[in-house]
Amino acid sequence: MNRWIFLLATATLAAQSGYFRDIRPILQKQCQGCHQPANKMSDLDVTSYDAFKKGGKRGTAIATVVKYLTGETQPRMPLGSPELAAADIAKFREWIAAGAKDDSPVESSSSQPIVYLQPPVITALRWSPDGSQLAVNGNREVIVHSSDGKRILHRLAGKAERILSISYSPKGDLLAAGGGTPAQFGEVQLWDPRNGKFLRSATLTNDTVFGAAVSPDGSKVSVGAADNTVHMIDTATGKELFKNSNHEGWVLGTVFGIDSKRFVTVSRDRAAKLTDSNTGAFLENVNLLRGELTAVTRHPKKDVVAIGTEDRYAFVYMMDRPRNMKIADDTTLIHKIDRQDGAITSMDWSSDGSRIAIAGLSPVVNLYNADTGKLASQCKGHSAGIYSVAFSPDGKQLATGGFDGMVRVYNAATCQLQLTFSPVPLSHGNPTGAGQ
């Protein structure tokens, strides 16, 4: 009898909702965009247990949350989004009835600022359109540097553990950072990089997002995700315009066409798909299926894209097919670029359209003549893989970053190394809560 009582009690405990497992993911996905330290609507912050428990202008959150989620108290939350599922509301009721306790692991409850003992792996960097800034990922933040690397202008701190892509609007008044916390949520953060002000964010998936790209007209941001989906965000509101599931593998890169009306997505399913950016409707495949696709960049003045693959080759394609597609049709192919020494992770096209930079698991960035596909020069100096590469707006410099955590800036014409710096301030101690 005692054994059955024990099993019944264990099952009951397992069924009870907990903050860390059940409530926290819902808050991150549905509420965090409007209620976080940089954007505390109604003075409510839901990014930690303590902040959520404290509540905001309208009272203690734990006492009022269910009423707002059900619409008993108006406005119904989440504001401007579909109603929360009944099963999710039930989780809040169960958790509150059980005492609304914080069961978070100790490390996840820490609110201490990140202190760096060594530079983090660089997965994203991008120049501002006027060339005055160089934005680089850190841990849970984007660090905006002066272009000479001598000053940190802004530290754009969010909740996402990883920032995997950065994109500026053409006017330089918006910075989009895509990433998330693995196995928890994927997020797009929108900032004003001129003053470091947080604008809004969109939590999209239950895992990280990749390949954030701001449209040429500045109205949208596209991202891919680990659940094979593609998402389009309105930059003015942070609301999701649509998502589609046209791919059958992780979507690792996105890029818009010249007029912002279409965009290309690349995936591990080997397909580069052309999609209507207003409706999300699939138009056609750009490429003939080969290896898994990992990176994409577009010519600055034409609807032509360069695509990198995990099997080390790069291809240059027209976005528009010259005639009706047939089986095994590769009529969009302009040329194939030589095999790299490692899987391709990042690519960029110079502003004059003359060169394509290709980076990957090799410690060398190769620069190619975009018209011929022939190797023009090689930028050396890294000790391991390179995960992000970006030409300056004038095409005279090339910034790179990767596994060793150092930003390197080269003369783009000669590949002479001009500058090396750590993107984060380093501490020589070992304080609690340090990030490495």
CB 212 within 8 A of CB 165: yes
Q: Given a cut of 90, is residue 182 above it in pLDDT?
A: no
Predicted TM-score (pTM) of the model is 0.78
Distance between CA atoms of 223 and 209, rounded to whole angstroms?
6
Residue 6 pLDDT grade (very low, low, confident, very high; cuts 50, 70, 90): very low
Using the predicted structure, report yes or no on whether residue 220 has a pLDDT greater than 80: yes
Position 330 scores a pLDDT of 80
User: 131 with 392: CB under 8 angstroms?
Assistant: yes
Q: Per the structure block, which two tokens stand in for 138?
A: 């850190």
Largest Cα–Cα distance in the chain? 80
Contact 177, 158 (CB under 8 A): yes
Distance CA 10, CA 254 (A): 47
Are residues 359 and 393 in contact, defined by beta-carbon separation less than 8 angstroms?
no
Q: Which residues of 23-60 are buried (b: 16+ CB within 10 A; e: fewer)?
A: bbbbbbbbbbbbbbebbbeeebbbbbbebbeebbeeee
Asked whether residue 107 carries a pLDDT value surpassing 50, the answer given is no
* Exposed / middle / buried, residue 317 (Cβ in 10 Å: 0-12, 13-18, 19+): buried
> Of 274, 276, 275, 314, whose CA–CA distance to 293 is shortest?
314
Element (H, E) at 54: helix 49-54
Nearest residue to 220 via CA among 180, 170, 154, 186: 170
Q: How confident is the model over 392-436, as pLDDT tens digits?
A: 999 999 999 999 999 999 999 999 999 999 999 988 654 333 344
For residue 123, give the nearest of 74, 66, 179 by alpha carbon.
179
Question: CB of 61 within 8 A of CB of 32?
Answer: no
pLDDT number for residue 328: 55
pLDDT in tens, 271-295: 999 999 999 999 999 998 888 999 9
Q: Please tell me the predicted confidence (pLDDT) of residue 27.
A: 82
Domains and CATH numbers, the chain: 2-103 (no CATH), 125-421 (2.130.10.10)
Q: What is residue 178's DSSP assignment?
A: E
Looking at residue 395, its pLDDT comes to 96
pLDDT at 428: 67
DSSP 8-state class, residue 19: I
8 Å CB contact between 319 and 305: yes
Predicted local confidence at residue 112, as pLDDT: 58
Residue 108 pLDDT > 50, yes or no? no
CB-count burial class (<10 Å; 0-12, 13-18, 19+) for 1: exposed
Which tens digit of pLDDT belongs to each residue from 294-330?
999 999 999 999 999 999 999 999 998 876 655 557 8
Angle at 434 between CA 193 and CA 404, to 5 degrees: 70
**Mean pLDDT score of the chain, rounded to an integer?**
88
pLDDT average, residue stretch 331-344:
94
Could you tell me the pLDDT band of residue 377, with boundaries at 50, 70 and 90?
very high
Are residues 205 and 196 in contact, defined by beta-carbon separation less than 8 angstroms?
no
Q: Write out pLDDT tens, residues 123-150.
A: 999 999 999 999 999 999 999 999 999 9
Mapping DSSP to helix (H, G, I), strand (E, B) and coil, where does residue 88 land? helix
Percent of the chain clearing pLDDT 70 (strictly above): 90
Cα 288 to chain centroid, rounded? 27
Say if residues 116 and 435 touch (Cβ distance below 8 Å): yes
Both tokens of 199, joined, read 């604008």
DSSP state at residue 426: B
pLDDT at 86 > cutoff 80: yes
Residue that wins the pLDDT comparison between 201 and 431: 201
Question: Which tokens hold the place of 122?
Answer: 């660089």
List the end-to-end C-alpha distance of the chain, in Å, as a whole number. 51
Alpha-carbon distance of 347 to 172, in angstroms, equals: 21
Helix 61-70 × helix 86-97 angle, to 10°: 160
**For the chain, what is the radius of gyration of the CA atoms?**
23
d(CA 331, CA 324): 9
pLDDT for res 427: 80
SS3 3: helix
pLDDT number for residue 113 = 62
pLDDT 10s digits, 8-45 = 333 333 457 888 878 887 887 778 777 876 567 888 88
Q: What is the mean predicted confidence (pLDDT) over 80-85? A: 83
Judged by DSSP in three states, 69 sits in helix
- Mean pLDDT lowest among 11-25, 58-72, 338-352: 11-25
For residue 358, what are its two tokens? 């290709």
